[in-house]
Structure 1
């Protein structure tokens, strides 16, 4: 928290108020950026090696690994004051929402490759790779991210259940303060 406090202290007051107001969205975006790197790193590793003929399968595997990373980071950081469900129930809902998001993410890549034929030999390797990145990592990921943010806030980490977690956190803080 000291790092965030130091950074916020240097931000102008009007912008600071906006950042604090939308902190969940900002944290979600940081988690998204992190999982973007994980997703694309694994995707290109697989796509350019053992799954070179199956880019959609490589992307699906990469998304699944990134989704696990996303669950941990979102639960423990982005939405830590929300939720309150049993962990197994929460995880099940998270992975159901993420499963729909995976399908949403794969549609543009599938369309690019197999509907618009933006693959070798119909186009050059460069065009194929640009189309893959634009459709799989930009368009698909943005659509999936919007759905995930809405779905996570709506079903997985709803605010009305978060009161339980916030109350426990406040009690822990008060208890820790009285021990000093």
Structure 2
């Protein structure tokens, strides 16, 4: 498979995983927001993103970047993935925070319907789009780099492991 096809396939899988995790985020977010965290919509959104991040790690590692899964790199990938995701959660939540608490799109300043529309556009739409672009770049660049780019590093690590045995 050519490099362009491989990257395109990976990108389409990444978007599919992201779409599924988007649904997970919405379900958890609205479940919390309309029950136990009514007064804390940003907290509900952050928790929803954390749950979706765990689901995303499993799916991304096993489906999107399965060819970059050497046993040696599992811990490094997990630490890198969750570091990138932590930054992504901040990027994802920032537009909701700005909409609610800086621009004042919250009840009673605006109607409940306007508040919910502003929340949906700022968090799940704008925030997710910005975070997804960042995550794609960072995961592709740092966490799951192409194996061709790291062939010399992997060969050196194998030599060290073999020489220790």
When normalised by structure 2's length, the TM-score is: 0.84
Q: Does 1:55 align with 2:48?
A: no
Structure 1 residue 35: Cα displacement: 0.0
Residue in 1 aligned with 2:95?
A: 108
Corresponding residue of 2:80 = 93
Residue pair 1:104, 1:143 contacting (<8 A) in 2 also? yes
Distance 1:149 1:113 in 2: 27
Q: Does 1:66 align with 2:52?
A: yes
Partner of 1:146: 133
Name the structure 2 match of 1:159: 146
Q: Determine whether 1:122 maps to 2:76.
A: no
Q: Paired residue for 1:34, among 9, 20, 23?
A: 20
Quickly say closer, same or farther: Cα 1:95–1:20, change in 2 above 3 A: closer
Q: Against the structure 1 CA distance between its residues 67 and 98, is the aligned structure 2 distance closer, same or farther, given a 3 Å change threshold?
A: same
**Unpaired stretches in structure 2, ≥5 consecutive residues:** 152-165
Is 1:136 matched with 2:123? yes
Q: In 2, Cα distance between the equivalents of 1:50 and 1:133? A: 19
8 Å Cα contact 1:39/1:66 also seen in 2: yes
SS in structure 2 at match of 1:60: helix
**Distance apart, 1:86 and its partner CA:** 2.4
TM-fit CA distance, 1:83: 4.5
Aligned residues: 147
Question: Per-residue deviation at 1:82?
Answer: 2.0
